Structure formats: C-alpha cells, structure tokens
Amino acid sequence: MVKKRQILVIGHNTNGCTPEHEKIAYDVGMEIAKSASVLICGGLGGVMTAAAHGARDGGGLTIGIIPQNDPAMANEFCDVVIPTGMGLARDFLNALSADGVIIVGGGSGTLSETTAAYMYKKPMVAIRNMGGPVASFIDGFIDQRENVKIIGVDTPKEAVNKILELITA
C-alpha cells in the first residue's frame, strides 16, 4: 500500500453551522491540502462544504462520501464522490476511510462519526469551544475501553499538525 494520507473532517451540516464554524473548517481544509493529505468529508453542507472549499483552494484533493445514490447531492467542492446509497450508515465509511479525524463542532451526525472512529481506533483531534454533543468527550475517552483519546486543540493549524503527528506515531 502506498496510498496518500487521508484526513476526515467532520462537523455541523447546514443545520447549526455558524460562520465561525465555516471559517475554521475552511482553514482546516486549507491546512490539510498544504500538508499534501487528501481531504475526506461527508460531502454535504456546513463544515463539510467549507472544509472541501478550503482544501480545494489549497490545491488539495477532496473526496465526499454521501448517504444518497446520486452524486449530484454532493457539494460543489468534492473532486470525487462516493454515493453510498446506504443512508446515514455511511458515517462508518467516513470513519473507516480516515487515517485521522478532525472534529469541528457538529451535532448528532458528527457524534455518530466520532463514535464510529473511536470504535475503529482512529486518531482524533477536536477544535475546542465549538459546541455540540462531542464537546463533552474532548480530552477524554468515549467509554471505559479507552480506545483512543479525542485530543483538544485550539486552531486549524494546530489541529492538522497534531493529527499528522498522531497518524505518524
């Protein structure tokens, strides 16, 4: 295997996404592109769109893995679209496709992806103070198995640096 490094960015869909979330997600995407990593995202709105936008502006490759059958449901910044046709269970494919995960706020969908990534022991970092149900797990573990700690960080640049460090370790 000589595949490229794949970093998943998760967070609010359109519902609940503020301009601040979008700005941070855009910067995370940009930093991922600069690090020569591939951006993986859920291919829909909010943080997913902003991160893909940033990665494309940074010259990176963007992949959107979406719940629907129809690739036209993906946002316009996805270079490649994987239409899973399996509804929200695609959250597990996002997690499995990640060498590492960066979390920017998010609601129940993000919690689903975070939990999937935790069960499959993927390195994870989360931007602090972004709200949502994942917030209470930052700098801790989801359960008593202590599979992987969700590392809190404060900036997009720190997020990408930290996830690269965790992936390499």
Which residue ranges make up the site for a second copy (CB under 8 A)? 1-4, 6, 15-16, 38, 61, 63-65, 69, 71-76, 78-89, 92-93, 96-97, 99, 107-109, 111-112, 115-116, 118-120, 132-133, 136-137, 142-145, 147
Q: Which residue's CB is nearer to a second copy, number 112 or number 127?
A: 112
Q: Which residue's CB is nearer to a second copy, number 94 or number 152?
A: 94
Q: Which residue's CB is nearer to a second copy, number 97 or number 161?
A: 97
Query: Please, which contacts does 114-117 make with residues 24 or more away whose CB atoms are closer than 8 Å?
Result: 114/10, 114/142, 114/150, 115/142, 116/91, 116/92, 117/8, 117/148
Nearest distance from residue 32's CB to a second copy, in Å? 13
Nearest distance from residue 154's CB to a second copy, in Å? 23
Q: Which residue's CB is nearer to a second copy, number 150 or number 158?
A: 150
Which backbone phi and psi does 30 adopt, to 5 degrees?
A: -60, -45
Nearest distance from residue 61's CB to a second copy, in Å? 7
